[in-house]
Structure 1
Amino acid sequence: MKTPTARRNRRALRTAGAGAAALLALSACSSSDSDSPSSGSAPASGELSGTVTVFAAASLQESFTTLGKQFEKAHPGTKVTFSFGGSDSLAASITGGAPADVFASASPKTMKIVTDAGDASGTPVTFARNQLEIATLPGNPDKIGSLKDLTDKDLKVVLCAQEVPCGAAAQKALAASRLKLTPVSYEQDVKAALTKVELKEADAAVVYRTDVHAAGDKVEGVEFPESADAVNDYPVTLLKGTRHTAAAKAFLALVRSAEGRKVLTGAGFLKP
């Protein structure tokens, strides 16, 4: 026959054992939660490795290069390589099988080329917007003050090709103003159009204000109200077949983060 004291000791042991088991279970759950991708915590820098290949619109060159350096510094063992160009050409390269992890386009239309081909992983997200501006020679010697001034036959004006986002936006602004403009050349990306002015091969070009900003004192920018009718959204997406998914997702997170937005707005981009 068990004494009251023995029964009390046995109950105490059972209670202590249950408490220890509960503590172990809680510890295991906490450990599991901290390792779960759904917890929202960013991976530690040591967990990321490999090269992230980014195809991006030419107008993103300066800001994305800055973000790439920040990413590599924050995550030793990673490298970000870029291919900048016209969004339509980049989209064609991706659908043609060019290896890339991330695509950042200057318009939803060119992004749709990639999504329609089934090459995007997930749904593209708009991370920035951009507006047009007229780039002139330093000091604006031709006194260009409006979009209409570009129709002067004595001026050599350059536009982006119509299939390129900056060219499509320029045509939209011209159509809204009921203006007809015959450029001396159509360029395949916005940097090429701007270079024509920098080299004094053209008197003016319709480009993005971010490119005018990046050119510094090599050109002078002229704002025009019609540009508000042709603002471009910039979508970004992860691509299928990436070999370093974690690193690519982390770069995407940086682009969309407060720090990424700071770099983009500093370059002249509008918030999404």
Structure 2
Amino acid sequence: MTRSVRRTRRMLKAAGAGAAALLALSACSSSGSDSSAKSDSAASASPSGKASASGKLSGNVTVFAAASLKESFGKLGKQFEQAHPGTKVTFSFGGSDALAASITGGAPADVFAAASPKTMKIVTDAKDNAAAPATFVRNQLEIATLPGNPGKVKTLKDLTNPKLKVVLCDKAVPCGAAAQKALDASKLKLTPVSYEQDVKSALNKVVLKEADAAVVYKTDVKAAGSKVEGVEFPESADAINDYPIALLKDSKNAETAKAFIALVQSAEGQKVLNEAGFLNP
């Protein structure tokens, strides 16, 4: 066999081995690529599936609520946080009209609980700022006097005695509007020593002995305990306020806010509110 023939055969063998190696490498690469693609696809699907399935409530909820709800909502807020670790309920209490003005002015909030449908309407009418409100409790007026009732106040008419220092809520505030409604129905004229911006401020005038009496809610008289004495009057039955609650549409944490509203409306929430002196809706 000549040298040229042997050299040709060696060259052909080398070329065949090289081709086989290339084919094997190509097969491994293709298999690895498919496996990697499947793995990446599964990895990308897994995290999103877990997040959507958790359903756990978290984050902050800001509740704007009428001043008369301070004690009961404070309790419900703590209950809610205990039931849902990782949540925080922050309250802003005050006159419903002032709270409504803050909300329509752009103050960030998730829930609004007002002391009258009229003040809630300020919010719902302003650029569709809230979902449909629902009445969750009602409240009735009562006269708060100094302990022992030294002014001997027994009726609404007794408050017209010029010797008594009487305080009312401002007429724009639900408790003030209700008091004026009761006075008008009784054809009584009363000139208070001051008009207060919310019911707690009116009550506090009596607690601090700066006034002899104030027309407030039954719930406020009850919350004050021995600091005041309550006097019921029949005209209050004609001036009972409905309290509506609503989710605000600009809420940054709607699901958690809805859960708080659900607690307020639940049997557990109603029990807390009834114990505070609120009436069922």
Is residue 105–residue 235 contact of structure 1 (8 Å, CA) maintained in 2? yes
Deviation of 1:118 (Å) = 2.8
- Greater Rg by CA: 2
> Which residue of 202, 220, 227 corresponds with 2:236?
227
Q: What is the CA–CA distance in structure 1 between the aligned matches of 2:163 and 2:265, rounded to whole Å? A: 44
1:191 aligns with 2:200: yes
- Aligned residue runs from structure 1 range 237-256, under 5 A: 237-256=246-265
Is residue 160–residue 193 contact of structure 1 (8 Å, CA) maintained in 2? yes
1:169 aligns with 2:178: yes
Give the secondary-structure state (helix, strand or coil) at the position aligned to 2:270: helix
Deviation of 1:241 (Å) = 1.5
Gaps of 5+ in 2: 1-52
TM-score, scaled relative to structure 2: 0.80
Letter in 2 for 1:141: P
Q: What is the CA–CA distance in structure 2 between the aligned matches of 1:130 and 1:155, rounded to whole Å? A: 26
Equivalent residue number for residue 135 of structure 1: 144
Is residue 59–residue 253 contact of structure 2 (8 Å, CA) maintained in 1? yes
Letter in 1 for 2:118: K
Is residue 168–residue 194 contact of structure 2 (8 Å, CA) maintained in 1? yes
Deviation of 1:63 (Å) = 0.3
Is residue 95–residue 119 contact of structure 1 (8 Å, CA) maintained in 2? no
Give the secondary-structure state (helix, strand or coil) at the position aligned to 2:256: helix
Q: What is the CA–CA distance in structure 1 between the aligned matches of 2:85 and 2:127, rounded to whole Å? A: 32
Deviations 1:207-231 (A, max 9, x none): 0000000001000000000000000
Deviations 1:12-33 (A, max 9, x none): xxxxxxxxxxxxxxxxxxxxxx
1:206 aligns with 2:215: yes
- Aligned residue runs from structure 1 range 30-109, under 5 A: 47-109=56-118
Deviations 1:110-147 (A, max 9, x none): 00000000353321000000000000000111110000
Is residue 120–residue 237 contact of structure 1 (8 Å, CA) maintained in 2? no
Is residue 94–residue 119 contact of structure 1 (8 Å, CA) maintained in 2? no
Moved over 4 A (4+): none
Equivalent residue number for residue 265 of structure 1: 274
Letter in 1 for 2:94: G
Give the secondary-structure state (helix, strand or coil) at the position aligned to 2:230: strand
Deviations 1:27-79 (A, max 9, x none): xxxxxxxxxxxxxxxx98x7100000000000000000000000000000000
- Aligned residue runs from structure 1 range 15-30, under 5 A: none
Q: What is the CA–CA distance in structure 1 between the aligned matches of 2:68 and 2:129, rounded to whole Å? A: 21
Equivalent residue number for residue 188 of structure 2: 179
Q: What is the CA–CA distance in structure 2 between the aligned matches of 1:183 and 1:107, rounded to whole Å? A: 22
TM-score, scaled relative to structure 1: 0.83
Is residue 133–residue 206 contact of structure 1 (8 Å, CA) maintained in 2? yes
Letter in 2 for 1:216: G
Q: What is the CA–CA distance in structure 1 between the aligned matches of 2:129 and 2:274, rounded to whole Å? A: 26
Deviations 1:63-103 (A, max 9, x none): 00000000000000000000000000000000000000000
Deviations 1:141-162 (A, max 9, x none): 1110000000000000000000
CA RMSD of aligned residues (A): 1.1
Identity percentage of aligned residues:
78
Q: What is the CA–CA distance in structure 2 between the aligned matches of 1:142 and 1:82, rounded to whole Å? A: 36
Is residue 124–residue 131 contact of structure 2 (8 Å, CA) maintained in 1? no
Q: What is the CA–CA distance in structure 2 between the aligned matches of 1:150 and 1:241, rounded to whole Å? A: 44
Q: What is the CA–CA distance in structure 2 between the aligned matches of 1:138 and 1:65, rounded to whole Å? A: 26
Is residue 123–residue 130 contact of structure 2 (8 Å, CA) maintained in 1? no
Q: How many residues align?
A: 229
